[in-house]
Amino acid sequence: MVGTASFVQKLGNSVKKVSESKSSSWWYNHHMRAASRAIFERIPLVDLVLEVRDARIPMSSGYEQLRYFPSSSRNIIILNKMDLANHSKTKEWMAYFKERNYIPYAINSHNKDSIKEFLNFLQARVRDIRRSTHSSETHTTTVMLVGIPNVGKSAFANSLHQIGRISAAEREVKTRHCESTARADKKHHQFKGTIDDILIDQSELAQYFLSILNFSDEYKKWAKISTTDDDEAALSLGASSGGSEFDKRENQIVNDHTQDFVVRAVRRALFHEISAFKGNLEDEKDMVQLIEAQFTALRKAFNVTSNPCGDTTGNGMVAAKLINLYRTGRLGHYTLDTLPRISES
């Protein structure tokens, strides 16, 4: 992905600019500052720091305050939501962190086996620490869990708690769950829903996502999605429904974009537009043209015909639905942060 940078970055930067100007610091209030300070003071006192990050944005979801502490075997970087990230990119990020003396560990907080595996790993780390600090068996190991909003700290802590009970790790590891915050003024956080969507132009975000998707390999997996008769029936039902109560109800069902047949239609539409595209994706004008074609195709796939609230093209609605599907992982696995080149790191 060498030449892809310019356009994607340009879009990303403009998204970032909007988010910075509009989001200001509405959520980073004095409570947050106090919490941040409390965390900062405790970091040197705990035995282990588990920094939870989002595997899709391993860099931009970092917890700023940890930068003031040198990387060490005390710091474990949890790349959570690995199920949503690009698998091989996650491996590359793991290697990147290892090189810098961090201990990275990729997990899926919603998966029991993943959490069990992590607990075993954590127990081994705790034993190592005890050995190296010559602390007694009765010493309680303290672990601090930090991370910016929405990376999955609560989900992770809950899973550790549930599974820890049966694996007896809980006795050994007292997990201190610290809700923490940090300024999240980076563009990628918009994707994760950290900051309200209303703060940013949804279609700009959707364009950014499409530009990433168009450069990825994910859509290639959708080549074989064929239209079933049921899909056809459901889609035409949506297109033809009239004004009766029954029709309205039917229409509502069709308009639920999370249904499987809608997701299939969306994948098909995106795949079709990329395959039919003859232009050069490295060329900004061509990329814009492809994205426009995709928006048109998506209007049909999402059955967006009406234009509420002055959304004359329906693009806002299409964008909102598309971003929602991305967030829930239904449009494939993407890692949005790119590894820094050696010269930058």
Ligand X SMILES: Nc1nc2c(ncn2[C@@H]2O[C@H](COP(=O)(O)OP(=O)(O)O)[C@@H](O)[C@H]2O)c(=O)[nH]1
List residues binding ligand X (CB under 6 A).
80-81, 83-84, 108-110, 147, 149-155, 329
Residue 80 binding target from Mg ion, ligand X, none, CB below 5 to 8 Å by type: ligand X
> Minimum distance from CB of 146 to ligand X (Å)?
10
> Minimum distance from CB of 103 to Mg ion (Å)?
23
* 150 is an interface residue for Mg ion by CB under 5 A: no
For Mg ion, the closer of residues 195 and 322 by Cβ is 195
For Mg ion, the closer of residues 158 and 338 by Cβ is 158
> Minimum distance from CB of 55 to Mg ion (Å)?
17
Q: Which helix H or strand E contains 13, and what residues bound it?
A: helix 5-23
- Scan for tokens 């890692």, then name that residue: 335
> Minimum distance from CB of 179 to Mg ion (Å)?
6
CA distances from 264 to 215, 296, 335 (A): 20, 16, 22
For ligand X, the closer of residues 84 and 317 by Cβ is 84
Using CB positions, name the residue nearest to ligand X.
Answer: 152
Residue 155 binding target from ligand X, Mg ion, none, CB below 5 to 8 Å by type: ligand X
- String of DSSP letters for 253-278: HHH-TTSHHHHHHHHHHHHHHHHH--
* 324 is an interface residue for Mg ion by CB under 5 A: no
Q: Nearest-CA neighbor of 304 among 208, 202, 225?
A: 202
Distance CA 201, CA 204 (A): 6
Beta carbons of 35 and 180 less than 8 angstroms apart:
yes
Residue 149 binding target from Mg ion, ligand X, none, CB below 5 to 8 Å by type: ligand X
Residue 296 binding target from Mg ion, ligand X, none, CB below 5 to 8 Å by type: none
> Minimum distance from CB of 57 to ligand X (Å)?
13
Beta carbons of 335 and 58 less than 8 angstroms apart:
yes
Residue 83 binding target from Mg ion, ligand X, none, CB below 5 to 8 Å by type: ligand X
* 154 is an interface residue for Mg ion by CB under 5 A: yes
For ligand X, the closer of residues 4 and 154 by Cβ is 154
From 126-134, 149-157, 255-263, 277-285, give the range in contact with Mg ion by CB under 5 A: 149-157
Distance CA 152, CA 110 (A): 10
Q: Nearest-CA neighbor of 74 among 102, 35, 111?
A: 102
Beta carbons of 66 and 182 less than 8 angstroms apart:
no
Alpha helices of 84-192 — where are they, by DSSP H?
Answer: 87-99, 112-133, 153-167, 169-172, 188-192
Which value, in Å, is the radius of gyration of the alpha carbons in the chain? 23
Q: What is the dihedral of CA 207, 212, 216, 219, to 10 degrees?
A: -30
> Minimum distance from CB of 16 to Mg ion (Å)?
24
> Minimum distance from CB of 73 to ligand X (Å)?
24
For Mg ion, the closer of residues 34 and 223 by Cβ is 34
Residue 207 binding target from Mg ion, ligand X, none, CB below 5 to 8 Å by type: none
- Scan for tokens 């003071």, then name that residue: 41
For ligand X, the closer of residues 83 and 231 by Cβ is 83
From 70-78, 147-155, 275-283, 330-338, give the range in contact with Mg ion by CB under 5 A: 147-155
> Minimum distance from CB of 207 to ligand X (Å)?
24
Beta carbons of 218 and 332 less than 8 angstroms apart:
yes
Name the 3-class secondary structure at 52: strand
Q: How many CB atoms lie within 10 A of CB 229?
A: 7
For Mg ion, the closer of residues 9 and 154 by Cβ is 154
* Residues that bind Mg ion in the complex, under the rule CB under 5 A: 154
